[in-house]
Amino acid sequence: MSGFLDSIRCGDCECNVDWGEKRNTIASVAAGVLFFTGWWIIIDAAVKYPDQDNFNHAYHACGVIATVAFLMINAVSNGQVRGDSYSEGCLGQTGARVWLFIGFMLAFGSLIASMWILFGGFVVPQKAVVYPGIAVFFQNAFIFFGGLVFKFGRTEDLWQ
Amino acid sequence: MAGIKALVGLSFSGAIGLTFLLLGCALEQYGVYWPLFVLMFYVVSPIPHFIAKRLSDDTDAASNACRELAYFFTTGIVVSAFGLPVVLARADVIYWGACGLVMAGNAVIFLTILGFFVVFGGGDDFSWEQW
């Protein structure tokens, strides 16, 4: 019993973790947290205010378009847009650029639309319950930033 | 094989996590069993990792897009397992105390699953012929 704490070593961890190699993993996890938190915020708002008067169901379209934009942005790799990947893909370099352009336009558009919904649909008419508008805004903000982190937080050098 | 002690330790923590989950359902002051839906998330959470491991044969690259997508979806499943009790509690389907117990159970179970992958998942001798 005596001396049973003698073998405990503090700060002896051989943590020579190469954080550069972990960058893609961290970016993927962070993007996952942001994206899915956005969707759970809107699920929460839809559960709390299920009726059309408090939360017009058409406002869900904003988050759906944001998700489509997320998928479009992350479907093409930066290498395909620059033109330095092996295969041309279905659309080629120009097609990849057009696809990415449309994806980013949809992403910015849904973010702007969510702000419009919040102010035009909830703040200006001074609705009794503002929370659904805030939820739509935060959903789209989280999905947008999740998409950005997933797209630009990862480096394709680690794929070689 | 990393040993019996790790296996027993992980199974103990798994049992503790499931105990928290069941306490959140079965205690007298709670009494509803809706939180058991998070079991679905527990079962699904390792699947993206296995799919990515199966699909990508080149292990010399430091990372690949398929594995990162698997991390993305796994994170989403974990977030959803925490989000569901909160939404249930805000909708007054379960009590907040039950929500807290379920979230504690989630944390322990996901750490157990992560522990399984850390202890048993690595190594070149992991081959699909075992299955």
Averages of pLDDT over each 10 residues, chain B, 131 residues:
84 96 91 94 94 76 82 96 96 94 96 91 51 45
The tokens describing A87, both together, are 């295969």
Put simply, the answer to whether B68 touches A36 (Cβ < 8 Å) is: no
b/e map of A133-142 (b: 16 or more CB within 10 Å)? bbbbbbbbbb
Alpha carbon distance, N-terminus to C-terminus of chain B: 16
User: A77 contacts in B (CB within 8 Å)?
Assistant: 65
B88, A47 in Cβ contact below 8 A?
no
State whether A32 and B73 contact (CB < 8 Å). Answer: yes
SS3 A87: coil
Model pLDDT for residues A35-90, shown as the tens digit of each residue: 999 999 999 999 999 999 999 999 999 999 999 999 999 998 888 888 776 666 77
Task: Check: CB of residue A116 under 8 Å from CB of residue A78.
Answer: no
Closest residue on chain A to B75 (Cα): A32
Cβ separation A158–B62 shorter than 8 A: yes
The answer, for A28 touching chain B at a CB cutoff of 8 Å, is yes
Test A35 with B76 for CB contact under 8 angstroms. Answer: yes
Give the model's pLDDT for residue A89: 72
pTM score, two decimals?
0.87
Q: Nearest Cα to B22, choosing from B5, B11, B35? A: B35
pLDDT at B131: 45
CA B50/CA B126 separation, integer angstroms: 12
Work out the mean pLDDT of chain A and round it to a whole number. 89
> Has the ipTM of the complex gone over 0.90?
no
Q: Which residues on A lie below 8 Å from B81 (Cβ)?
A: none
